[in-house]
Every structure is written in structure tokens, then in C-alpha cells.
Amino acid sequence: MDIQPIAGALGAEIAGVDLRDPISPALAAQLRAAFLQHKVIFLRRQPLTPAQFLRFAEAFGTPIEYPFVKGIEGFPMIIEVKKLEHEKVNFGGIWHSDTTYLHEPPMGSMLLSKEVPPYGGDTMFASQYAAYDALSPTMKRLLDGLVGIASSAKADVSKTREDRIKSDGTEEAKKEYRAEHPVVRTHPETGERTLFVNPGFTSYIKGLARDESAMLLHFLYAHSTKPEHTVRYHWTAGDLAFWDNRATQHAVVGDYGDQHRVIQRVTLRGDEPV
């Protein structure tokens, strides 16, 4: 197995692994170590069937259903993240960490590209460990103990999933989920401190006036996605990405016009942030 970092803050490509084969405990341990170190790992040209994709995911955690969109036929844990030619907005086209409006947000998520446009459609990832580490000691003390309120009903992110809810929505699609999480969380496996607010779902900071909250969140959103904290990945068909949802944000770049894009996603059960 060959591991090549592709950016300073996070991200590594892994070669020499065929995920169509069963995942041994030793290989799973190697991949998990790379995942924890680099925050997001990419394995190119992995033409997996849904059963193989799910088997790979189960080597690292417990797949869970997405609240708003049905899974593909026969595999409720695998959803399609897609934009059709006539659609104007990307599913997930805003910086976010997945489903932080749940009391136990996911440990991680995986994407497997099925159909990619001839140009564009890259996915950006941002290290929230690097973002926290770059803050001043005074700002770190200010953030310590603050709590963010996350909601599934924020207008911007709701717009990014409208098309999929229309075509593949569940009975839960109109429900609002809300959760309280620390603005800075401790990673349960590495002990690292990471920012845990995002423009997709964090509505406000508990205990602050709304204008105070808005100003602080505006700074944190801009700071957490600075170029030096990010990596940009260009997809080819069959690529797989696996990221640590506890320590990253991500967003798809909507720069491919009326082209078709289909990617499958599996999300893994997490725990309550502390």
C-alpha cells in the first residue's frame, strides 16, 4: 500500500489496494491509521458494486440511513448524491459537516463516484484540526465551552437537497432536526481539538445575542475554509473518498453547468461530541 499526501493540511491518495477483495483486519487497520492521520483518503479506480461498497464501509463502522433521501434499491444505507442535467443546485454544494443536526453526528462518510462530468465537479475538504490549531490562544479560550445550535432546516443547505427530496425523499423529509454541540470538540480517537461549527447547519451560538453569534460564526466559517486548510479533489469514475466527519468540512464545486454527476454515499454512525 502506497500513501501519498496531496496537500499540506489534509488529504492523501492511497494506491496498491483493490477494494473488490475482502478487507483483512490488517488492511483495515492500515487504512484507518491513514484516515485518522490525513483526515480524508482517496482510492482511485475502485469499480465497486453496491455490496462491495457496503462491505468496505462495514470494515470501519456501522452504516446508517440518511434522514431525508431514500437509499438505492436493495441498499437503504447507500444514497445517490446526484445532479441531473436540468438541475441548477448541487446536493451538498455548501461547506458543511454531514448531518451535524443529529445528536450523534456521523463518524465519517464515503463517496464512490459512478458518473462524473467531463470537467469540474471537484470536492473541497477542509481540516478543522488545522483551522483550530491556527487560532490565537485568546480565541481558543473564548471558544472553549461555547455551544452551537445545529438545524437541518437552514435555508441554504435545504436548497441543496431540494431536488433529491423531490425525486427520492423519505417520510422524514419535512422534519426539522436540531442538536446542541460544542463549538470545539475533542476527537474521540486522536484527542485532537477541532472546530465543530459549519455554515451548512450551525444556526447560532447558545447564550450569545444573535448579532454577536453571527459575527463570531462569520469569522469561524471564513477561517475554517481558508485555502491553507483545504484540499481539492478531482474525481474520475470509480474513485472512493473516505473522510473523518469529526474533523473536516466539505463542499462540492458547482462549476460543471448542465453536465450529469452521480456519486454514491455511505455514512457511518458516530457518537455525541464532547
Residues designated as active site: 96, 98, 250, 265
The four Cα atoms 220, 178, 269, 95 give a dihedral, to 10 degrees, of -30
What is the distance between the alpha carbons of residues 237 and 10, in angstroms, rounded to a whole number?
22
Among residues 107, 202, 104, the alpha carbon closest in space to that of 150 is found at: 202
The helices-and-strands tally (H runs, E runs) of the chain is: 7, 16
The amino acid at 15: A
The single residue listed with the C-alpha cell 454515499 is 265
Question: For residues 22 and 229, is the Cβ–Cβ distance under 8 A?
Answer: no
Q: Tell me the C-alpha to C-alpha distance, in Å, between residue 197 and each of 99, 101, 204, 219.
A: 12, 11, 9, 11
DSSP string, 124-152: EEEEHHHHHHTS-HHHHHHHTT-EEEEET
